[in-house]
Amino acid sequence: MTSSAPSAQGRPERGPHAAVTAPVRRGYERYARQAGQWLRGYEARGGRVYCGAGCFACCDMPIRVSLAEALITAGALSPAKARAVEAHARAALANARTAPDDEEYVRRHRQEVGFCPLLDRETGACSEYDSRPTRCRDTFSAFPARFCASGTWEAMGRREQDAYRREVARTPGTDGEVHFIAPLEHLSEPVWVAAARAMRAEWGLEVWGDFWVLTTLARDPAFMARVAAGDHRGAWTVAQRRGLAHRELLELG
Ligand code: SF4
Ligand code: SF4
């Protein structure tokens, strides 16, 4: 069923899953306004944020999304980018199937699965900036990018790690443990809530998981038909047939 719903700019959003994607787009718009306001206040009080165009050391992290967010990214991709996203999803799945624990899963994702295929390696910019998911919108660093890069912590000596902890503890805006800006992560919580509510209301189920796996499945009409019918077993079977099912990278329920 094709439905329409008000989009972020007030224009009706069209498409078979508009009732699910429109609340998320509105959440993105609201988040951009609120985060901008928070950042202006933070910088006026002497705070510094190191994120900016061309900075991408964080683009090799695993990313968890809702299917509502993945639909937005999926709808923006060219066939070539969709193929690159699927290849990345398969690499993430291979890692998930063999990693002995979460720590090793994250380490291997960052160092072996590697950077998101939507990253433009020449400019360091996100090539799908307008349709990037929530996690890519709400990650801000109060320290320079080298502290976000994979392997930096492990390469530090004990004294450098202690100095890092002291510096984080006295930096306003962090949670006192890591150098990312905590209030800007909390501000995005309504986007997650909006996605969950919209999926539950429209499909009677929620779908969460790995960004690249869900973005690939979001482009699969058979998978989306089962989701839209509220058939989580059928959706799982479609994903399984495509080799894209994994309990931690695809959560249906
Ligand atoms: S989180 Fe770190 S790596 Fe990512 S844009 Fe900000 S400073 Fe750069
Ligand atoms: S979607 Fe864009 S911002 Fe997010 S990880 Fe990929 S390249 Fe980076």
Ligand nearest to the CA of 140: 1
State the pTM of this model: 0.94
pLDDT, tens digit, 9 for 90 and up, residues 14-26: 788 999 999 999 9
More confident residue, 177 or 16: 177
Classify 95 as helix, strand or coil.
Answer: helix
Q: What is the pLDDT of residue 15?
A: 80
pLDDT, tens digit, 9 for 90 and up, residues 148-165: 999 999 999 999 999 999
What distance in Å separates the CA atoms of residue 221 and residue 74, rounded to the nearest whole number? 12
pLDDT, tens digit, 9 for 90 and up, residues 38-95: 999 999 999 999 999 899 999 999 999 999 999 999 999 999 999 999 999 999 999 9
The Å distance, Cα 87 to ligand 1 centre, comes to: 24
Atom of ligand 2 at shortest distance to CA of 129? 2
What distance in Å separates the CA atoms of residue 127 and residue 79, rounded to the nearest whole number? 14
What distance in Å separates the CA atoms of residue 203 and residue 252, rounded to the nearest whole number? 11
The Å distance, Cα 41 to ligand 2 centre, comes to: 26
Q: What is the pLDDT of residue 12?
A: 62
- The token duo for 21 is 């994607």
Instruction: Evaluate: CB of 136 within 6 angstroms of ligand 2.
Output: yes
Instruction: Evaluate: CB of 59 within 6 angstroms of ligand 2.
Output: yes
The Å distance, Cα 210 to ligand 1 centre, comes to: 20
- The token duo for 168 is 């984080």
Q: What is the pLDDT of residue 3?
A: 40
Q: Around Cβ 97, how many Cβ atoms within 10 Å?
A: 10
Atom of ligand 2 at shortest distance to CA of 61? 5
The Å distance, Cα 188 to ligand 1 centre, comes to: 17
Instruction: Evaluate: CB of 226 within 6 angstroms of ligand 2.
Output: no
Q: What is the pLDDT of residue 1?
A: 40
